[in-house]
């Protein structure tokens, strides 16, 4: 009770801080949604209609699998392909781009930034979402209010992956409520919450709605008390609309179709049971009674029941179009906040950091031991070439594999935050690259600090510098390649594609070796120059054997050392005309191209352009054809 009172008073205070925004009434007509998986296509939503009004708290109810989440996905614009019908905002056809800027979607499964505490998450979200106009004190007040409102005070210093299910859900809601968007979609916000928390959450949502927002949530068996809080109830049964109207209208409605709700029964449970066909097939009858959502005959009940505190603000409809909803914070601020978040996550992931340090030491020691003292040994020149090649491969795998494994999961989170317009993709990508570069350099240095001296490579400063820089560049390119591959693929597919793509790059790096100046055919030469690993290898060979280097030392117990003369060896490897400047230029170009590619694919993943959507459709078409012929 006390918490509820606190929430109530704070709720008022909280809303008073927030920017005023125009109301949006959301309507949809004849909305259908089809999924096709290979041979069959399935109609999930069947020509449903409805209207969700600003200032009201709407519940979408229905048995599991009825299509509630699908409806929310389409209304929120999260899923576009496969849907048909009309969606309107304030009576006008909806402009999806604009609508996306005005709405927020809190999905059923909570994806939260790992290793960040509740308070930090909220503070960072406030920095991203409340923008630069608001000063720090005010942001702190808002964050505090939201923490109290959603009863997260006890968990404020708990890292998000240690939160309980209910706390995770409340945190997800809190994060999106921060900037009070005009339209809020929530998929099952009360699932996993205890009764008190659910009703606090629902009364908070009602208060938000009363502030002139459109709040739409799908619900899974609400209690009678929570059910009665809703202004508007929309029941989905088997992809159609079985009821639309007030919560209080449910009982008279069911009575009319000869299904009186027992007095001791929760009307919400009852209508869900009826619409899942538990009392016989009444769905068609219900759908017909509301004309698949076209009519809201039970609207009149709303007026009688629920006008206690209808303090809806002046509804100045029509101004939406003129608002330019840009990001609240500047790209530089976004970059700064994201960078801070990424660095915190890197530093807090202690076990992983130590593991990586350990593995690089191990790898350095193994490679160092395998090629021990071969750097000046004229009888082992070929082996030393192997050492350079091993370094390139070590750089490739140690940086690319962790990205392939971790990034597909991160993309899902980014997709959600990006969808809810926390930040732009450019600041995000910049922060990603900047936060990853120092650790990659650090780990490469650990490996090199062990392997390079153990193998007795030349210790001249310029040679060390070229060797180290080349290795670091290869590592950075490999890391971006990992991002490029995993930005559009799942973990399993990335783990397969990554190493497979690496093989031709590795082979091309050594293609034509041993044939001396006799150049391979043009096509292979061109292909070879597309492999950044080739430049990496050339860089390392130049670092170690580039002129001017004296002849290597032939051990006394050897009769003859063929590759004693370094110049001869380099020529044999087909690298006599390599220029270190060109190598560096090409490595930088590769780094740039790889990052641009990764950025482009990430952008297409998050908001695909027409070409990309076309490719997807064609892909699906081919898959369907293939599975039909099989
Ligand atoms: P709920 O009302 O429980 O949220 P959903 O909207 O998630 O239901 O799903 C509605 C129905 O559509 C379910 O039967 C589900 O299995 C099916 N469905 C959803 N997405 C797909 C898909 N991509 N392919 C096939 N069936 C799907
Ligand atoms: Mg669902």
Same domain, 299 and 363: no
**Stretch 604-622: mean pLDDT:** 82
SS3 string, 304-352, reads HHCCCCCCCCCCCCCCHHHCCCCCCCCHHHHHHHHHHHHHHHHHHCHHH
For residue 360, report the distance from its CA to the centre of ligand 2, in Å: 45
**What is the spatial distance between Cα 462 and Cα 550, in angstroms, rounded to a whole number?**
15
For residue 299, report the distance from its CA to the centre of ligand 1, in Å: 29
Binned at pLDDT 50, 70 and 90, residue 404 comes out as very high
Residue 427: exposure state from Cβ atoms within 10 A (0-12, 13-18, ≥19) = buried
Q: Is residue 230 part of a domain?
A: yes
Q: Is residue 321 part of a domain?
A: no
Tens-place pLDDT, residues 246-301: 888 888 888 888 888 888 889 999 999 888 888 778 888 888 888 888 877 554 44
36 vs 628, which has greater pLDDT?
Answer: 36
pTM of the model: 0.85
CA triple 343-347-349, angle to 5 deg = 120
* Closest ligand to the CA of 188: 2
For residue 187, report the distance from its CA to the centre of ligand 2, in Å: 7
**Stretch 80-106: mean pLDDT:** 88
Can you give the pLDDT at residue 543? Answer: 95
Same domain, 361 and 437: yes
**What is the spatial distance between Cα 80 and Cα 100, in angstroms, rounded to a whole number?**
12
Of these ranges, 135-144, 151-160, 205-214, 584-593, the one predicted with the greatest mean pLDDT is: 584-593
Cβ 66 under 6 angstroms from ligand 1: yes
Residue 54 is encoded by which pair of tokens? 């600003």
For residue 60, report the distance from its CA to the centre of ligand 1, in Å: 15
Q: Is 46 helix (H, G, I), strand (E, B) or coil?
A: strand
Can you give the pLDDT at residue 191? Answer: 79
For residue 42, report the distance from its CA to the centre of ligand 1, in Å: 10
Nearest to 216 by CA among 244, 173, 176, 184: 184
Residue 500 is encoded by which pair of tokens? 């497979």
Q: Is residue 185 part of a domain?
A: yes
* Closest ligand to the CA of 236: 1
**Stretch 58-63: mean pLDDT:** 92
Binned at pLDDT 50, 70 and 90, residue 157 comes out as very high
**What is the spatial distance between Cα 477 and Cα 586, in angstroms, rounded to a whole number?**
11
Can you give the pLDDT at residue 260? Answer: 85
* Cβ 152 vs Cβ 118: under 8 Å: yes
Can you give the pLDDT at residue 628? Answer: 65
174 vs 621, which has greater pLDDT?
Answer: 174
Q: Is residue 327 part of a domain?
A: no
Same domain, 170 and 284: yes
Can you give the pLDDT at residue 314? Answer: 34
Ligand 1 atom index nearest CA of 68: 2
Can you give the pLDDT at residue 630? Answer: 62
Same domain, 311 and 336: no
Cβ 67 under 6 angstroms from ligand 1: yes
In this structure, which residue's CA is closest to atom 25 in ligand 1? 35
Ligand 1 atom index nearest CA of 66: 2
Q: Is residue 183 part of a domain?
A: yes
* Closest ligand to the CA of 35: 1
Task: Give the domain-ending residue among 287, 315, 343.
Answer: 315
In this structure, which residue's CA is closest to atom 15 in ligand 1? 65
Q: Is residue 68 part of a domain?
A: yes
Cβ 69 under 6 angstroms from ligand 1: yes
171 vs 37, which has greater pLDDT?
Answer: 171
Can you give the pLDDT at residue 200? Answer: 79
Which CATH number goes with the domain that contains 88?
A: 3.40.50.300
Ligand 1 atom index nearest CA of 188: 4
**What is the spatial distance between Cα 305 and Cα 248, in angstroms, rounded to a whole number?**
7
Cβ 261 under 6 angstroms from ligand 1: no
Same domain, 227 and 359: no
| Averaged pLDDT of the chain | 86
**Stretch 333-351: mean pLDDT:** 94
Same domain, 107 and 173: yes
Can you give the pLDDT at residue 620? Answer: 77
Query: Quick check: 313 pLDDT over 60?
Result: no
Can you give the pLDDT at residue 9? Answer: 45
**What is the spatial distance between Cα 520 and Cα 573, in angstroms, rounded to a whole number?**
12
In this structure, which residue's CA is closest to atom 23 in ligand 1? 35
In this structure, which residue's CA is closest to atom 14 in ligand 1? 65
Domain that holds residue 41: 2-315
Same domain, 377 and 490: yes
H helix or E strand, kind and range, residue 629? helix 610-629
- Cβ-based neighbours of 44, under 8 Å, separated by 6 or more: 33, 34, 35, 67, 70, 239
Task: Give the domain-ending residue among 315, 342, 360.
Answer: 315
Cβ 63 under 6 angstroms from ligand 1: no
For residue 109, report the distance from its CA to the centre of ligand 2, in Å: 10
Binned at pLDDT 50, 70 and 90, residue 358 comes out as very high
What are the DSSP calls for 84-107, one per residue? EEEEEETTEEP-HHHHHHHEEEE-
* Closest ligand to the CA of 33: 1
Ligand 1 atom index nearest CA of 70: 6
Can you give the pLDDT at residue 258? Answer: 85
CA triple 254-260-261, angle to 5 deg = 90
Q: Is residue 378 part of a domain?
A: yes
Cβ 37 under 6 angstroms from ligand 1: yes
SS3 string, 445-465, reads HHHHHHHHHHCCCCCCHHHHH
Can you give the pLDDT at residue 519? Answer: 73
For residue 594, report the distance from its CA to the centre of ligand 1, in Å: 37
The domain total for the chain is 2
For residue 412, report the distance from its CA to the centre of ligand 2, in Å: 18
Task: Give the domain-ending residue among 286, 315, 344.
Answer: 315
Contacts 24+ apart (CB under 8 A), 571-578: 571/516, 571/517, 572/514, 572/516, 573/385, 573/513, 573/514, 573/541, 574/512, 574/513, 574/514, 574/515, 574/516, 574/517, 574/518, 574/519, 575/538, 575/541, 575/542, 576/517, 578/538, 578/541, 578/542
Cβ 65 under 6 angstroms from ligand 1: yes
Can you give the pLDDT at residue 485? Answer: 95
Q: Beta-carbon neighbour count of residue 468 at 10 Å? A: 17
Cβ 90 under 6 angstroms from ligand 1: no
Query: Quick check: 365 pLDDT over 50?
Result: yes
Q: Is residue 326 part of a domain?
A: no
**Could you give the percent of the chain with pLDDT greater than 90?**
48
Cβ 623 under 6 angstroms from ligand 1: no
Same domain, 307 and 397: no
* Closest ligand to the CA of 65: 1
For residue 176, report the distance from its CA to the centre of ligand 2, in Å: 19
Same domain, 311 and 338: no
Cβ 440 under 6 angstroms from ligand 1: no
SS3 string, 466-505, reads HHHHHHHHHHHHHHHHHHHHHCCCCHHHHHHHHHHHHHHH
For residue 64, report the distance from its CA to the centre of ligand 2, in Å: 7
Cβ 310 under 6 angstroms from ligand 1: no
11 vs 136, which has greater pLDDT?
Answer: 136
Residue 425 is encoded by which pair of tokens? 């993709």
Query: Quick check: 324 pLDDT over 60?
Result: no
Residue 43 is encoded by which pair of tokens? 């109609």
Query: Quick check: 318 pLDDT over 80?
Result: no
Cβ 70 under 6 angstroms from ligand 1: yes
**Stretch 359-385: mean pLDDT:** 93
Binned at pLDDT 50, 70 and 90, residue 17 comes out as low
Can you give the pLDDT at residue 294? Answer: 80
Nearest to 404 by CA among 470, 475, 488, 474: 488
Same domain, 309 and 418: no
462 vs 193, which has greater pLDDT?
Answer: 462
In this structure, which residue's CA is closest to atom 26 in ligand 1? 35
Which of these ranges, 199-208, 236-245, 302-311, has the smallest mean pLDDT? 302-311
Same domain, 356 and 311: no
**What is the spatial distance between Cα 511 and Cα 505, in angstroms, rounded to a whole number?**
10
Binned at pLDDT 50, 70 and 90, residue 517 comes out as low
Tens-place pLDDT, residues 472-501: 999 999 999 999 999 989 999 999 999 999
Can you give the pLDDT at residue 417? Answer: 92
Same domain, 349 and 306: no
For residue 150, report the distance from its CA to the centre of ligand 1, in Å: 30
Can you give the pLDDT at residue 82? Answer: 84
Can you give the pLDDT at residue 551? Answer: 87
Of these ranges, 184-193, 379-388, 572-581, the one predicted with the greatest mean pLDDT is: 379-388
Tens-place pLDDT, residues 455-470: 999 999 999 999 999 9
Residue 320 is encoded by which pair of tokens? 């939406």
User: Which of the listed residues 35, 61, 65 should we mutate to test ligand 1's pocket, taking the one with most ligand atoms within 8 A of CB?
Assistant: 65
180 vs 33, which has greater pLDDT?
Answer: 33
């Amino acid at each position: 009770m006390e918490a509820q009172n606190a929430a109530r008073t704070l709720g008022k205070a909280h809303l008073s801080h927030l920017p005023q925004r125009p109301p949006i009434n959301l309507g949809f007509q004849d909305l259908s949604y089809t999924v096709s998986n290979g041979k069959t296509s399935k109609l999930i939503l069947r020509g449903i209609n409805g209207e969700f009004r600003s200032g009201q708290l709407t519940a979408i109810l229905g048995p599991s699998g009825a299509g509630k989440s699908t409806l929310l996905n389409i209304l929120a614009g999260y899923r576009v392909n496969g849907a048909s019908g009309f969606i309107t905002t304030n009576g006008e056809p909806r402009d999806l781009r604009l609508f996306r800027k005005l709405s927020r979607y809190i999905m059923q499964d909570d994806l939260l930034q790992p290793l960040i505490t509740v308070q930090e998450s909220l503070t960072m979200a406030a920095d991203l979402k409340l923008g630069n106009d608001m000063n720090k004190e005010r942001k702190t007040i808002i964050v505090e209010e939201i923490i109290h409102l959603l009863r997260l005070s006890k968990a404020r210093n708990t890292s998000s992956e240690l939160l309980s299910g209910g706390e995770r859900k409340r945190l997800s809601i809190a994060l999106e409520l921060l900037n009070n968007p005009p339209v809020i979609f929530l998929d099952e916000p009360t699932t996993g919450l205890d009764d008190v928390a659910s009703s606090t959450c629902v009364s908070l949502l009602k208060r938000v709605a009363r502030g002139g927002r459109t709040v739409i949530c799908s619900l899974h068996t609400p209690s009678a008390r929570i059910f009665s809080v809703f202004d508007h109830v929309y029941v989905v049964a088997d992809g159609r609309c079985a009821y639309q109207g007030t919560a209080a209208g449910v009982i008279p409605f069911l009575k009319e179709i000869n299904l009186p709700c027992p007095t001791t029964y929760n009307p919400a449970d009852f209508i869900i049971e009826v619409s899942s066909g538990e009392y016989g097939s009444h769905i068609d009858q219900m759908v017909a009674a509301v004309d698949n959502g076209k009519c809201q005959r039970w609207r009149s009940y709303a007026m009688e029941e629920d006008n206690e505190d209808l303090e809806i603000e002046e509804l100045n409809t029509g101004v939406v179009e003129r608002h330019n909803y840009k990001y609240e914070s500047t790209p530089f601020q976004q970059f700064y906040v994201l960078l801070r978040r990424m660095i915190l996550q890197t530093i807090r992931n202690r076990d992983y950091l130590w593991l990586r340090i350990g593995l690089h030491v191990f790898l350095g020691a193994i490679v160092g031991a395998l090629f021990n003292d071969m750097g000046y040994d004229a009888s082992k020149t070929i082996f030393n070439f192997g050492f350079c090649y091993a370094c390139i491969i070590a750089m490739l795998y140690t940086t690319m594999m962790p990205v392939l494994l971790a990034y597909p999961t991160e993309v899902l989170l980014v997709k959600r935050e990006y969808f809810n317009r926390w930040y732009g993709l450019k600041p995000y990508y910049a922060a990603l690259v900047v936060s990853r570069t120092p650790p990659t350099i650090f780990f490469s240095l650990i490996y090199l600090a062990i392997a390079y001296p153990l193998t007795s490579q030349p210790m001249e400063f310029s040679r060390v510098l070229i060797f180290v820089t080349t290795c670091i560049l290869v590592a950075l390119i490999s890391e971006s390649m990992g991002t490029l591959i995993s930005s559009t693929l799942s973990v399993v597919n990335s783990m397969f594609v990554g190493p497979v793509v690496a093989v031709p790059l590795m082979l091309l790096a050594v293609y034509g070796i041993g044939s001396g100046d006799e150049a391979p055919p043009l096509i292979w030469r061109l292909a070879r120059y597309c492999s950044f690993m080739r430049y990496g290898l050339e860089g390392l060979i130049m670092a170690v054997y580039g002129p001017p280097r004296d002849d290597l030392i032939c051990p006394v117990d050897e009769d003859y050392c063929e590759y004693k003369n370094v110049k001869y060896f380099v020529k044999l490897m087909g690298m006599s005309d390599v220029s270190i400047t060109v190598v560096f230029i090409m490595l930088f170009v590769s780094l740039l191209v790889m990052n641009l590619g990764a950025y482009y694919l990430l952008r297409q993943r998050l908001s695909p352009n027409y070409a990309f959507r076309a490719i997807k459709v064609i892909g699906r078409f081919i898959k369907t054809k293939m599975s039909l012929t099989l």
